[in-house]
Amino acid sequence: MSKVAFLGLGAMGARMAANLVRAGHAVTVWNRSPAATADLTALGATAASSPRAAAAGADFVITMVADDAASRAVWLDDRTGALGGLGKDAVAIECSTVSPAWATQLAAVVTATGAGFLEAPVVGSLPQAQDGKLIILGGGGRDAFDRAQPVLAPLAAAIHHVGPVGRGAVMKLAVNGLLGIQLAAWAEMMGFLGRAGFDGAAALDVLTTLPVASPAAAGYARLMQAGDFAVRFPVDLMAKDFRYATQAADALKSDTPVADATLSVLERAREAGHGAENVSALIRLYTGR
C-alpha cells in the first residue's frame, strides 16, 4: 500500500479519500476548511496543516478542487503549496476539472522537479464517488499512468488513458459539455410543454422511454420535475466548465455555437441567483419556481 496525500475534501473529494482509506492506503488529508477532515480522521486518515505538509513523504499526491485558481493555490502557493513537499519519486495526480492550459502548465512545473504527473479528471457524481465507481480519464505519460493504478483503482469502475497531458481535461470538458447541452435543452422543452398545458410528470413518463433520452438527462429531468435542486453538480461549476471548454475551443479555432448558447443559459441561471443550486435548477428559468 502507498502513502497518499489527498487535497480537497468537498463532496466528491471526501468520498474519494474515504475509499482510499478503506482500501488500506496510508492517507493524509488537507482541506481549506479544516473541519472537513474530521470524518476522514475518524476513518483512520491523518490530517495535515497545509498541502505542503500533506505532500511531504507521500508516494502520490491527489488534488480534487473547484477550478484552475484553487488548483494553482494548492500546488504552487509560495508558503503552503504541495509542490514544495513533493518528492522526486512521487506522482502528482490532478483529479479536478481544470482547463487544458492549466493542466499542461502544472505538468511542466511538476515534472521539472523530477516528479511524475498525471491528470485524472473523473466522470460521475456523488453516488459513483461513494461507491468507487467513477470513470477516470487519464492524461499523461504511460509510466505515470501505470504507476498510479493502485491508488486510482479504489476510486473507479474504469480508468482510461486518453493521451498526453491536456487530453484528459479536453475529454472531461467534452463530457460535461454534452451533459450541459442536454440539460439546457430538457429544461427549455419542459418549460415549453408546461406552457402548452402538459402535466410534467406524465410528459416525462413518455419522453424518458424514448431514444432521445439519455439516462443522465432523464435522471436530471426527473429532478427538474420534482423541484429537487439539492446540490450534486452546481450551476456555478457547470458554467465554469463551459467557460473552460469554449476558451479551449477558441484557442483551437473550433466553432462551438451550441456550447456558447448553453453557457449563456447557465450564466442567466447564475444571474437569477441559482448558481449554488444543482443544474436541475435550470428549469426555474422557464417555470418561475
- β-pairing verdict for 134-139 and 122-123: antiparallel
CA 123 to chain centre: 7
- Burial zone of 23 (CB within 10 Å; 0-12 exposed, 13-18 middle, 19+ buried): middle
Amino acid at 269: A
Distance of alpha carbon 263 from alpha carbon 267, whole angstroms: 6
Distance of alpha carbon 263 from alpha carbon 201, whole angstroms: 27
> Three-state DSSP class for 125?
coil
> Three-state DSSP class for 178?
helix
The CA distances from residue 45 to 25, 42, 55, 138, 256, in Å, are 9, 7, 14, 25, 44
The CA distances from residue 194 to 28, 199, 200, 204, 205, in Å, are 50, 7, 6, 11, 14
Catalytic site residue 240?
no
Q: Are 16 and 123 in contact (CB under 8 A)?
A: no
Paired strand residues for 112: none
Catalytic residue among 3, 88, 172, 253: 172
Q: Which residues are marked as active site?
A: 172
